[in-house]
């Protein structure tokens, strides 16, 4: 039987275990109740939200059976692998609002119909994760549609609201930097991933995947092994994008200091997070300590705009990338090699040696979400001019077999989902 994985809590369940929330608008006929499971997910224990009743179709026999009930009973007993389209509450009201049986978050309408891919974003505090995700999503909406004949759209209301208010408004409307991400221990919105549907028309058929992104606080990643949901999503991610902040590398930090560039307050060694990441994936996936992890992991130097002056003049990362309908492998190989050499110069060989001994599928990139440094008051006066932000994401899709790669101009114009 096909198991489903919740996009919010990452627990797995069979389709018939899905529960529902009553949609009866009359709260006198069906009194709202405290939802402790959702309260637990939102870390509001003792202060759980009061919401319309949860309907468990397998347990909840309606007191007033109506026409729909026979159909539900039939479906439940005959086919456990089917997800019910609706359920009937004890109050007799029919509802189609599906919830995860483990965390009681509402499941997006297309949930279960598409493959789901979690792409986790990692990096030290202030490495640029929130800016990167904001610009990546903006670029994917703009270019994926044009270059790949595909559509990229939000899958749930939470994503629309959070992207618009927390991310898009600040960068693209107010032109100010995004605030530091609060710990998921204190801010529940941080616990909610951004969920998108990527769909493409291929041979007159629409093929879709859901893409789940988490913008975790660097503070939480420092203690990732203590965070239950975060641990699950990182360990179960199909692809990882790991941002390395060049401005936290002591050698480069000293050189940019006199160029009027804002430098992060703290220096945190990306090696610590990578070591924890490897342990976490191994422990939760049962991978032996001498076996390598094969999850694709893209190491991207963020804020590359700030360090380009210190890179070799002919470094390929200076050029714009152009993946017109395919992943450009020639460009990828040149950038990967060049960034790999820079990594060795800037951080030393130890980091790469650790990667080589622990991962099979990794590559190096250089990205800039903003294109230039914001000023000291956090204003982005020069406007947002992203550079190569889609490269690591497209590489992950390529590694997952979702898009085709090509060398040179004989590019196949297809985007396979």
Ligand X SMILES: Nc1nc2c(ncn2[C@@H]2O[C@H](COP(=O)(O)OP(=O)(O)OP(=O)(O)O)[C@@H](O)[C@H]2O)c(=O)[nH]1
The residues of the shown chain that bind Mg ion, judged by CB under 5 A, are 129-130, 181
105 near 97, Cβ under 8 Å?
A: no
Helix, strand, coil % in the chain, rounded to nearest 5: 35, 20, 45
CB of residue 369 vs ligand X: minimum separation in angstroms? 4
- Contact of residue 323 among ligand X, Zn ion, Mg ion, none (CB under 5-8 Å per partner type): none
CA proximity to 209, closest of 217, 200, 218: 200
Residue 415 neighbours by CB under 8 Å, 6+ apart: 144, 148, 149, 150, 200, 202, 325, 326, 402, 403, 404
Sketch the per residue contact string, 37 through 56, with Zn ion: x for CB under 5 A, - otherwise.
----------------x---
Tokens of 286: 């049962």
The CA-based diameter of the chain, rounded to the nearest angstrom, is: 76
The answer to the question of residue 30 lying near Zn ion (CB under 5 A) is yes
**Minimum distance from CB of 185 to ligand X (Å)?**
14
Say which entry of ligand X, Zn ion, Mg ion, none residue 126 contacts (CB below 5 to 8 A, set by partner kind). Answer: ligand X
- How many angstroms separate the CA atoms of 381 and 171, rounded? 11
**Residue 213: CB minimum distance to Mg ion, A:** 12
Pairing relationship of beta strands 19-21 and 97-99 according to DSSP bridges? antiparallel
From the list Zn ion, ligand X, Mg ion, none, which binds 91 (C-beta under 5 to 8 Å, kind-based)?
Answer: Zn ion
The answer for residues whose C-beta is within 8 angstroms of residue 65's C-beta and 6 or more apart is 88
Euclidean distance between CA atoms 177 and 311, whole angstroms: 26
State the distance between the two ends of the chain, measured CA to CA, in whole angstroms: 23
Shortest distance, CB of residue 37 to Zn ion, whole angstroms? 9
Q: For ligand X, which is the closer residue by CB, 72 or 367?
A: 367
**Comparison of 5 and 130: residue with beta carbon closer to Mg ion:** 130
Nearer to Zn ion, 53 or 117 (CB): 53
Partner whose footprint covers residue 123, from Mg ion, Zn ion, ligand X, none (CB < 5 to 8 Å by kind): ligand X
Binding-site partner at residue 114 among Zn ion, ligand X, Mg ion, none, CB < 5 to 8 Å by type? none
Residues 6+ apart with CB under 8 A from 386: 135, 139, 367, 368, 369, 370, 371
Partner from Mg ion, ligand X, Zn ion, none contacting 239, C-beta within 5 to 8 A by type? none
DSSP code string of 178-247 = PPPPPPTTT-GGGGSPEEEEEEEEETTEEEEEEEEEEE--HHHHTTGGG-HHHHHHHHH-SEEEEEE-GG
Among 72, 88, 103, 195, binds Zn ion (CB under 5 A): 103
CB of 315 to ligand X, least distance (A): 17
User: Residue 132 or 395: which CB sits closer to ligand X?
Assistant: 132
Q: Residue 197 Cβ, how far from ligand X at the closest point, in Å?
A: 24
- In the complex, the residues that contact ligand X under the rule CB under 6 A are 123, 125-131, 177-178, 180-181, 217-218, 262, 303, 305-306, 368-370, 373-374
Residue the block writes with tokens 């291929």: 202
Q: Which does 384 bind (CB under 5 to 8 A by kind): Mg ion, ligand X, Zn ion, none?
A: none
Tell me which of Zn ion, Mg ion, ligand X, none is bound by residue 363, counting a contact when its beta carbon lies within the kind-specific cut-off of 5 to 8 angstroms.
none
By C-beta, is 229 or 302 nearer to Zn ion? 229
Least distance from C-beta 260 to ligand X, angstroms? 11
Q: Other CB atoms closer than 10 Å to residue 276's CB: what's the count?
A: 17
Compare residues 89 and 178 and give the one whose CB is closer to Zn ion: 89
Residues written for the chain: 417
The number of CA neighbours under 13 Å toward the Cβ of 24 is: 20
Positions in the binding site for Zn ion (CB under 5 A): 6, 8-9, 22, 24, 30, 53, 89, 91, 93, 100, 102-103
């Amino acid at each position: 039987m096909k198991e489903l994985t919740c996009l919010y809590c990452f627990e797995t369940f069979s389709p018939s275990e899905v529960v529902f929330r009553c949609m009866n608008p009359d709260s006198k006929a069906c009194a709202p109740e405290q939802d402790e499971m959702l309260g637990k997910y939102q870390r509001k224990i003792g202060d759980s939200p009061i919401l319309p009743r949860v309907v468990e179709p397998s347990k909840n026999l309606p007191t007033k059976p109506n026409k729909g009930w026979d159909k539900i009973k039939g479906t439940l007993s005959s086919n456990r692998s089917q997800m019910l389209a609706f359920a009937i509450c004890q109050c007799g009201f029919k509802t189609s609002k599906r919830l995860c049986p483990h965390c009681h978050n509402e499941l997006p309408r297309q949930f279960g119909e598409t493959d789901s891919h979690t792409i986790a974003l990692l990096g030290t505090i202030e490495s640029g994760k929130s800016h990167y995700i904001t610009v990546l999503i903006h670029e994917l909406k703009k270019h994926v549609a044009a270059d790949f004949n595909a559509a990229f759209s939000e899958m749930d209301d939470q994503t629309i609201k959070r992207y618009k208010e927390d991310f898009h408004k600040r960068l693209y409307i107010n032109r100010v930097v995004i605030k530091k991400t609060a710990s998921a221990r204190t801010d529940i919105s941080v616990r909610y991933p951004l969920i998108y549907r990527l769909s493409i028309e291929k041979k007159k058929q629409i093929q879709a995947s859901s893409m789940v992104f988490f913008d975790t606080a660097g503070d939480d990643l420092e203690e990732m092994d203590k965070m239950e949901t975060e641990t699950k999503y990182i360990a179960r991610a199909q692809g990882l994008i790991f941002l390395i902040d060049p401005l936290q590398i002591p050698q480069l930090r000293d050189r940019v200091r006199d160029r009027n560039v804002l430098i992060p307050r703290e220096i945190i060694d990306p090696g610590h997070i990578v070591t924890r990441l490897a342990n976490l994936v191994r422990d939760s996936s049962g991978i032996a300590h001498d076996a390598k992890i094969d999850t694709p992991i893209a190491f991207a130097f963020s804020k590359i705009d700030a360090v380009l002056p210190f890179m070799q003049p002919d470094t390929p990362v200076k050029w714009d990338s152009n993946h017109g309908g395919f992943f450009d492998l020639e460009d990828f190989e040149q950038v990967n090699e060049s960034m790999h050499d820079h990594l060795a110069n800037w951080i030393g060989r130890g980091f790469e040696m650790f990667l080589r001994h622990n991962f099979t599928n990794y590559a190096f990139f250089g990205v800039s979400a903003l294109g230039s440094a914001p000023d000291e008051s956090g204003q982005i006066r020069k406007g947002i001019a992203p550079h190569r932000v889609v490269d690591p994401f497209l590489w992950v899709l390529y590694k997952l077999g979702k898009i085709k790669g090509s060398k040179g101009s004989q590019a196949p114009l297809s985007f396979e989902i």
